A and B are shown apart, each in its own frame.
Chain A
């Protein structure tokens, strides 16, 4: 409570919170930029601030970036960053149905619920979760990642082979570059531009953003027209719609918080897992990917609650819970705070005030983003004829801005064609990106585990945590096949005639 009071009663701290969420939202909405880049670019601003204001500013940018990433995902199907990828699955179809305002408001509410769960979890569980996170070694991480890949790459679909191909292709593409252990050039074809590998941002913007333009060109103008008239109330979901998705938001928030508290896991795994769970338990799984409210709100909740989860290992162990948390850690050290087990004892007032900033920023973000919904809805309607050029332009700049590399822009063009033909041939795109995101950690944990066990592969089933994830992975792989076989047997039973 003292932490909350120190924020609310200090006009300068509140002001920095407001500045942080505004800048974070605006920059996070730019494709390819995201909250990581926003925090990195704005880090120098914190040098002249007090430790409290610096921490509040960085956390506000972090949270604002999470909110902002969903705006471009919903409006133009270009994810702001990895955590906003899942928002495109149901958010963009809703925008295409003329419900952009609906989608933006629902995701803002989902983000708020998730942020609240993340805040409460951080306050009450910081001690418990940090002890549990310590128990995760390389083998446990590896089995968790394999489970996440299987659970979220859609292998429960009726024709999973294309999902398998997509996710493994993503794993392989991410291995292009210098080997992290030996430094050997892997699949670089002698090109120095490929030494740093192929960036996730390039592939994401290519296969989702630029390829989307090619898909849009297939639709003639009459199909692209959105409703020309709408009333103010239609921009916002009804209370009953919000209530119906409330439990999925809470589920997403819990998943996001738990996954986010694992160092390195981050919002992307949290959002994919949440989406996968909602689809699995839904009575209408076929409606996911076509504008399902739960498919939008649950991952949004997971994304924002993962911020609270990521702060647990960051504050308590000095181990960043996500890439954005790593920048936060750097910012903390620059203002004289020493992250680690002693932080909560030595700088308790600042840390708890920063945690309270999460709550304040969350409330401010909900209010501001909801107020801007009519503006965005009108913008997307009026800008329809210009969208092809604008999306292409944003993709071009977003990719260039990431590493200042025209080679990346060339790769963008290549992957836009790959993404387009993958869509035409029924290959899901999301598993490819998920494979790319998880590949470095997957390889690192795999090699580290074998190093620790002296090449003994039994290390992956030695601990209770690893065995649990292995068992869950097998169940997810095998159960749908058994269910399908039983259904076939039942349908062909003589009693059915």
Chain B
């Protein structure tokens, strides 16, 4: 239940930051027309208002024991998800070091070998094939060049 309250709180915080940014802009221009800050301010205030209602609604139902928690997620699943996100972030970090193709190849290999429990050869062959196909389709055919990192 605490987790269900955290998300609206996070959204309120994020939108509040956007609101403070929008208040730095002119709401109306010199000739009375609406300025660049008008609509962002209105929308941000509206969202905060609705999120507060939602927060109160969740808290009220928590008091009334009406709201049932959804299916709980096992710690194994959470660790898989965390592992996956760390792998994605590391891949992004490595792009400028070893190039996008190699870092994506490593990412695919790690996910297949460590998460999907495929064999070493299977994972290696699939990741190698994948980066070759990606290179042909995107770089050669579509002309979208990838960062090469230190290999440039």
CA distance A413 to B87 in the complex (A): 11
Whether B7 pairs with A186 at a CB distance below 8 angstroms is no
Tell me, in angstroms, the Cα distance from A425 to B55 when the chains sit together. Answer: 12
1/0 per residue A132-174: CB within 8 Å of B? 0000000000000000000000000000011011001101100
Q: Indicate the member of B25, B43, B81, B115 with the most A CB atoms within 10 Å.
A: B43
- Whole-angstrom distance from the CB of A273 to the nearest CB of chain B? 22
Report B7-46 CB contacts with A as 1/0, cut-off 8 Å.
1101100010010011001100100111111011001101
A234 to chain B, nearest CB (A): 27
Chain B, interface size category, equals 35 or more
Chain B 54-93 residues near chain A, CB threshold 8 A:
54, 57, 70, 73, 77, 80-81, 84-85, 88-89, 91-92
Contact status A413-B88, CB under 8 Å = yes
| Docked-complex contact A389 and B143, CB < 8 angstroms | no
Main secondary structure of the interface of B (DSSP, over half): helix
Contacts of B70 in A (CB 8 A): 424
> A231 in the interface, Cβ–Cβ < 8 Å?
no
Complex alpha-carbon distance, A417 and B10, angstroms: 12
B77, A179: Cβ atoms closer than 8 Å: no
Q: A400 with B100: in contact, given A184-B36, A388-B115 (CB under 8 Å)? A: yes
Contacts of B37 in A (CB 8 A): 186
Q: Given that A396-B91, A406-B147 are known contacts, is A389 also in contact with B7, CB under 8 Å in the complex?
A: no
Residues of A near B8 (CB, < 8 A) are: 425
Contacts of B11 in A (CB 8 A): 165, 169
Give A217 to B81 CA distance when docked, in angstroms: 7
Cβ of B112 under 8 Å from chain A: yes
In the bound complex, residues from chain B placing their C-beta under 8 Å from that of A410 are 92
Q: Which residues from chain B contact A103 at a C-beta distance below 8 Å? A: none
With contacts A172-B43, A425-B4 known, what are 8 further pairs, Cβ within 8 A?
Answer: A186-B21, A217-B115, A386-B126, A401-B144, A406-B95, A413-B89, A447-B33, A450-B33
Question: A residues engaging B (CB < 8 A)?
Answer: 27, 30, 33, 41, 161-162, 164-165, 168-169, 171-172, 175-176, 179, 181-182, 184, 186-187, 189, 210, 213-214, 217-218, 385-386, 388-390, 392-393, 396-397, 400-401, 404, 406, 409-410, 413, 417, 421-422, 424-425, 443, 446-447, 450-451, 455
The chain B residues found within 8 Å of chain A, CB to CB, are 4, 7-8, 10-11, 15, 18, 21-22, 25-26, 29, 32-37, 39-40, 43-44, 46-47, 50-51, 53-54, 57, 70, 73, 77, 80-81, 84-85, 88-89, 91-92, 95-96, 100, 104, 107-108, 111-112, 115-116, 118, 126-127, 130, 134, 137-138, 142-144, 146-147
